[in-house]
């Protein structure tokens, strides 16, 4: 199980999400026995430094930073992470080999996020300590193969020997149990923590996630970079362009700049980019991170106990 690798109590990782997971959420999750991650993807270097310092002041438990490797300032972010002694680094959206050696030689735990076997093998070769395998149902950026968590976890367990953390489609204790039944060594949870009290998501975005039902999200902008979005006016615009045969440049123009900030951080629900997973349909209220973890564990143990009952002895 993944918790022994990180020195945490439960095999639950809070995903490092742009505009939602700053030091408040990360420290609250880590203080509750999970692993909190600061999402550096939306942060300038000085902002990340501030969040790391505040997180260290708010918890004496392990926490980490998620760094998407696609931004020009990645070198700077990694230097700050090293200097500030962040013990755990999750990388995503790029080649993990670029930083894994440096981070490992400095005694850090390194985890890389993937969505197919090819990149899982690359990450394992790069020497990472664990992998997050993220299914099609996950919010935000996603793989082009569209492999769902149900299929992806066994596929990844088949090809690597390092721990595999399941992501995508996990917001409840039953879903956590299902992920572990598939062979995962832990779970990464995003959407459910977007609605946590300590999340920095705008209150209007949190309420939109809570209101979301069956079919409220869709994988979008596949010709540019696939991203799962809550359907809104912006999504409709992208969809219409896609149906008319839009190419990547046209999608890039529609996307424009700072739409994710506008949507998730500033609460502009119509024109903003609202990244969230399919499990939004199962999220029904805003709760503190500690309560979310308690809920997850309670349902997990209940469902696990049920699976051990006689009716399953066929």
Binding site for its own copies (CB under 8 A): 1, 3, 9-11, 116-118, 135-137, 144-151, 154-155, 158, 168-170, 172, 174-175, 177-183, 213-215, 218-219, 223, 243-245, 278-279, 281-282, 297, 303-304, 307-308, 311-312, 314
Q: What phi and psi, each to the nearest 5 degrees, are found at residue 150?
A: -55, -35
Nearer to its own copies, 38 or 189 (CB): 189
Q: How far is the CB of 30 from its own copies (least distance, A)?
A: 15
Q: How far is the CB of 69 from its own copies (least distance, A)?
A: 22
Q: How far is the CB of 36 from its own copies (least distance, A)?
A: 17
User: Which are the contacts of 5, defined by CB distance < 8 A and separation ≥ 6?
Assistant: 109, 129, 130, 163
Q: How far is the CB of 49 from its own copies (least distance, A)?
A: 33
Nearer to its own copies, 81 or 152 (CB): 152
> Among 22, 15, 72, 30, which residue's Cα sits nearest to residue 52?
22
Measure the CA–CA gap between 102 and 79, rounded to whole angstroms.
10
Nearer to its own copies, 65 or 227 (CB): 227
Nearer to its own copies, 247 or 271 (CB): 247
Q: How far is the CB of 112 from its own copies (least distance, A)?
A: 17
**What number of other Cβ atoms are within 10 A of residue 291's Cβ?**
14
Write down the residue that tokens 């990782």 correspond to: 13
Measure the CA–CA gap between 70 and 99, rounded to whole angstroms.
13
Nearer to its own copies, 10 or 99 (CB): 10
Q: In what order do the strands lie in the sheet with 140-141?
A: 140-141, 227-230, 217-220
């Amino acid at each position: 199980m993944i918790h022994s690798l990180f020195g945490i109590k439960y095999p639950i990782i809070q995903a490092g999400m742009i505009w939602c997971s700053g030091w408040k959420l990360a420290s609250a999750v880590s203080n509750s026995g999970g692993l909190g991650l600061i999402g550096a993807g939306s942060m300038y270097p000085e902002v990340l430094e501030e969040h790391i310092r505040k997180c260290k002041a708010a918890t004496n438990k392990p926490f980490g930073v998620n760094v998407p490797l696609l931004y020009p300032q990645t070198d700077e972010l990694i230097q700050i992470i090293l200097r500030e002694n962040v013990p755990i680094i999750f990388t995503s959206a790029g080649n993990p080999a670029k930083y894994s050696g440096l981070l490992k030689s400095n005694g850090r735990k390194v985890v890389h996020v993937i969505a197919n076997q090819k990149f899982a093998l690359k990450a394992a070769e790069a020497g990472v300590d664990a992998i997050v395998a993220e299914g099609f149902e996950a919010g935000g950026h996603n793989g082009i193969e569209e492999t769902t968590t149900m299929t992806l976890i066994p596929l990844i367990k088949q090809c690597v020997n390092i721990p595999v953390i399941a992501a995508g489609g996990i917001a409840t204790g039953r879903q956590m149990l299902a992920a572990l039944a598939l062979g995962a060594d832990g779970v990464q949870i995003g959407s459910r923590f977007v609605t946590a009290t300590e999340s920095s998501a705008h209150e209007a975005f949190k309420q939109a996630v809570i209101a979301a039902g069956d079919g409220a999200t869709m994988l979008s902008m596949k010709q540019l970079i696939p991203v799962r979005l809550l359907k809104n006016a912006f999504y409709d615009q992208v969809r219409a362009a896609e149906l008319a045969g839009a190419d990547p440049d046209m999608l890039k123009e529609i996307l424009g700049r700072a739409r994710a900030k506008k949507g998730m951080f500033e609460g502009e629900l119509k024109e903003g980019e609202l990244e969230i997973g399919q499990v939004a349909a199962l999220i029904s209220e805003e709760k503190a991170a500690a309560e979310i973890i308690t809920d997850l564990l309670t349902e997990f143990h209940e469902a696990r106990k049920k699976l051990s009952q006689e009716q399953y002895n066929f």
